[in-house]
Structure 1
Amino acid sequence: MVSLDLSVVNVGLPRIGAGLGFGPVGLTWVIHAYALTFGGLLLLGGRAADRYGRKRVLLFGLGLFGLASLLGGLAQEPGQLVAARAAQGIGAAALAPAALALLTATFPSGRARVRAFGVWSATNAAGGALGVVVGGLLTQYAGWRWVMFVNVPMAACALLLARRGVARTEPAGRSGRPDVIGAVLATAGMTLLVFGVVRTGQYAWSSPVTLTTLALAVALLVAFVQVERATGREPLTRLGLFANRSVVGANVYNLLVGAAMTPSFYFVSLYLQEVLKKGPALTGVMFLPFTFALVAGSVLAVKLGYRLPPRTLLVAGGLLTAAGFAWFGLISADGSFTTDVLGPSIIAGVGFGLCLGPVVSTATAGVAPHESGAASGLLNSSRQIGASLGLAALGTAAHHRTGRAVTPGALDTGYALGLTLGAALLLAAVLIALTVLRRTGPPVGPERTADHGLVSAGD
């Protein structure tokens, strides 16, 4: 649900703008409001899950997400929809790290961990890919409001399942008074960082507005680090966590992959609609091969994960995805779905699926149980920051290549550049995996039952 909401709105933006009277700049905030609160509050959400209980924070996030989706679907003016999207981001920032922390605590090692993270990653990534499909179909046949309403039944079902199926455990990290100052500095710094990046479509990277915003964000984050080093209270994120090479390497890898993948959905969607002149619904359907390939790659990662170390899968998956993106970079104005989209979609989808489970498992390996929420929030933050940075940077590069022209040929040139740059980011991620992550053997350990610590007695 969280992943789907990052992309489900994109296809419906033109009709949302027409339906509520958005201006060109205001319409971008339908996307930015969600990214801003989600990316800015993830660290806080992860620590809250550790301190106050993962099930409690998960239920809170699900309830808020569902309610915000309902209100967004009922919006009558632009400000109401933007506020609803911001509230969705707050709910997502609570439930995403809480859910991942529950999974980490339930499957700390062994074959079951490989399988659990494979299922998690396939579901997570398929949600993002299916968002384009669902968004196109709903926008064309049911109306744009249903890209918001679709979350309501999903949130309700997830709430019921979580209440019954997730065991209530004592908070793992409530050992002292919380570091309020550090939490404020980190949240403000992360929020400003995302805010500065997402507004580069309106203010150039070199503009005083952007430079001032990003400089202030960096200053706040530096202050946060200094406070965390000196505080005697329970820190928002213990700095010793960054001494773990697995945590650092996996998060940098995740940031680069997010910076490449999120713009790719944007560019391919625009290529199909603006260059090949496909409708919203057909554009969504044309993303299905990528989704199926991604799920197949995730299943393959589970099979190979019993025999190969995670680093090997990260390298193989990154290289395969980069090859698919390089093929995407060859799109042409007179191309077709079969030659320009289908082939690279399958290759990139399988590659992306191969690396998703291992990166989540690596980022939480060796982390103390009381810090699993913080590690999960950090991983989600790196992906969201990467997505925002990638969309802003690659989108700007594509726009500069296109210039003021709106012909299919000019647009195609810009989109091709953006996709080629995505391939370069994926190669950088592979380099990080090779140089930062340690060589380890394949996961081993006793088989664990799926109900260990997760399913409550009697359910």
Structure 2
Amino acid sequence: MLRGGEATGGGAARPGITLAAVAVVQFMVSLDLSVVNVGLPRIATGLGFSAAGLTWVIHAYALTFGGLLLLGGKAADRYGRRRVLLFGLGLFGLASLAGGFAQEPGHLVAARAAQGVGAAALAPAALALLTATFPAGRARVRAFGVWSATNAAGGALGVLIGGLLTEYAGWRWVMFVNVPMAACALVLARRGVTAGPPPARGGRPDVLGAVLATAGMTLLVFGVVRTDRYPWSSPVTLTTLAVAVALLAAFVRVERTTAREPLLRLGLFANRSVAGANAYNLLVGAAMASSFYFVSLYLQRVLGTGPALTGAEFLPFALAVAAGSVLAVRLGYRLAPRTLMAAGGLLTATGFAWFGLISPDGAFVTDVLGPSIVAGAGFGLCLAPVVSTATAGVAPHETGTASGLLNSSRQIGASLGLAALGAVAHDRTGPITTPEALNAGYALGLTLSAVLLAAAALIALVVLPRISPPSRTGQADAHRKEILV
């Protein structure tokens, strides 16, 4: 039985229920990053999306999620983790219900954006609760192992669940499926999550910074995505990207000079663990989001597989991720986090490089199964170490901010990676839509995903500090002190 930290207010600690609530939350949040992928063709037919507009079903969620996560983390620190978690769950459930009843493209995109806002509130609050409930030792390793397994399973099983729902229940159920999960997490959180200590009451949260960051990232992704219509050298693309860079520069300036409580204390990046883990997570998020997209399209548009079977063919990847996560827990007592992150990144890169060999006359067994197992195991291996590394060295009053930053780097990486690699793949394919041409674009995108993961492994080895594995409570305490140096 897992034993966590002591409650500091609001009733007796119930770490098992807290862990269950956090696990459901993370599964749901991760699920929504991939659950719509397989259903996109039928969503386009049902609501009348254009080809360019359809990508915003994914981007609307990822960008609001990633852009507002820092504000969500700050809100969790200031207003209380439990309160922010409950608010986020309520908003996420209602947005999912509204999305399922959407009648026009704008309705669904707005619902997906609202889901992202809810996820930006509940994800950092949940991770901060996990960090506070399991502060050290073997219980922490196990808890983060459970977190990483549900996180990975949500992303991987999202494709399977989305395919099954799309084919047998209708695409609207890829939205409705969140409602019972949000309700379950609400019940668990209300019963098992304590109020915690009185939240810090500093300055008001920096809403302007959140708006600038989200607007800048949205314009950046929009500029990259629209290169299918406007070339990189066109005035439209150059102006869009210039405005995006200006907004992001303004965000940095606001964080340095604001009279309010900064959304992100830039000094956090002086900590090598925080900087390295987030750079690593950015590249992993970019590679994973792109690979899910390319493999799903390869199975459906090149090999002619239906939605349900496409989802089922992602199951070996999901099982491999779970196995890698379990292995990471066992190895976490003997190997340093950066060693696991480097090994996981290289193994995943190997799987994606193998994916890059797909052929238009291939098959699931010869072109998908093997690389799915290799990439999945590598991905599972690095999930828990990157989370533990990015949050263990942060002061207690900034754990929500650090959690939001880590989640934000992944979501922003997912949007940027999908936009950039999707544009490169489209350039390779051109206007031709034959299986051979599509295969060439998808193969290039998957190969570039492998390059991104190799770069992530290099960051783990070069940037992250040498830290001993947390095999005992004393070692975990030393681990936290070493990160702060």
Q: TM-score range by the shorter chain?
A: over 0.9
**Equivalents in 2 of 1:82, 1:231: separation in Å?**
32
Whether the 8 Å CA contact 1:257–1:429 is kept in 2: the answer is yes
Give the corresponding residue for 2:32. Answer: 5
Aligned with 2:340 (options 288, 309, 313): 313
Q: 1:192 to 1:113 in 2, by over 3 A?
A: farther
**Which shows bigger deviation, 413-422 or 222-231?**
222-231
Matching of residue 77 in structure 1 with residue 128 in structure 2 = no
Q: Over residues 426-451 of structure 1, what are the superposed CA-to-partner deviations in whole Å (9 max), with x where a residue is unaligned?
A: 1100111111001111114439xxxx
Look up the equivalent residue of 2:163 and give its one-letter code. G
Aligned with 2:60 (options 8, 30, 33): 33
Whether the 8 Å CA contact 2:64–2:214 is kept in 1: the answer is no
Shift of 1:216: 2.4
Which structure 1 residue ranges, 4+ long, deviate > 6 Å from structure 2? none
Q: Which runs of 5+ in 2 are unaligned?
A: 1-27, 475-485
Give the corresponding residue for 1:374. Answer: 401
Q: Over residues 217-246 of structure 1, what are the superposed CA-to-partner deviations in whole Å (9 max), with x where a residue is unaligned?
A: 332332333333334542211121111000
Aligned with 1:131 (options 137, 151, 158): 158
Q: 1:285 to 1:173 in 2, by over 3 A?
A: same
Q: 1:145 to 1:313 in 2, by over 3 A?
A: same
**Which shows bigger deviation, 211-220 or 327-336?**
211-220
Shift of 1:204: 4.3
Whether the 8 Å CA contact 1:39–1:194 is kept in 2: the answer is no
**Which shows bigger deviation, 338-347 or 79-88?**
79-88
SS in 1 for 2:305: coil
Matching of residue 351 in structure 1 with residue 378 in structure 2 = yes
Matching of residue 220 in structure 1 with residue 281 in structure 2 = no
Shift of 1:420: 0.7
Aligned with 1:251 (options 263, 275, 278): 278
Whether the 8 Å CA contact 2:74–2:205 is kept in 1: the answer is no
Give the corresponding residue for 2:266. Answer: 239
Matching of residue 418 in structure 1 with residue 480 in structure 2 = no
Whether the 8 Å CA contact 2:321–2:380 is kept in 1: the answer is yes
SS in 2 for 1:364: helix
- Aligned pairs for 1:66-215 (under 5 A) are 66-200=93-227, 203-215=230-242
Give the corresponding residue for 1:403. Answer: 430
Q: Over residues 29-81 of structure 1, what are the superposed CA-to-partner deviations in whole Å (9 max), with x where a residue is unaligned?
A: 22222223212211111111111111111111111111111111112222222
What's the RMSD between the two structures over aligned residues? 1.9
Give the corresponding residue for 1:438. Answer: 465
Whether the 8 Å CA contact 2:127–2:403 is kept in 1: the answer is yes
Q: 1:202 to 1:107 in 2, by over 3 A?
A: farther
Whether the 8 Å CA contact 2:68–2:210 is kept in 1: the answer is no
Q: Over residues 376-423 of structure 1, what are the superposed CA-to-partner deviations in whole Å (9 max), with x where a residue is unaligned?
A: 111111101111111111111111112222222221111111111111
Of all paired residues, the percent bearing the same amino acid is 82
**Which shows bigger deviation, 429-438 or 202-211?**
202-211
Matching of residue 299 in structure 1 with residue 326 in structure 2 = yes
Q: How many residues align?
A: 448
Give the corresponding residue for 1:453. Answer: none
SS in 1 for 2:251: helix
Look up the equivalent residue of 1:143 and give its one-letter code. G
Q: Over residues 247-271 of structure 1, what are the superposed CA-to-partner deviations in whole Å (9 max), with x where a residue is unaligned?
A: 0000000001111111111111111
**Equivalents in 2 of 1:422, 1:80: separation in Å?**
32
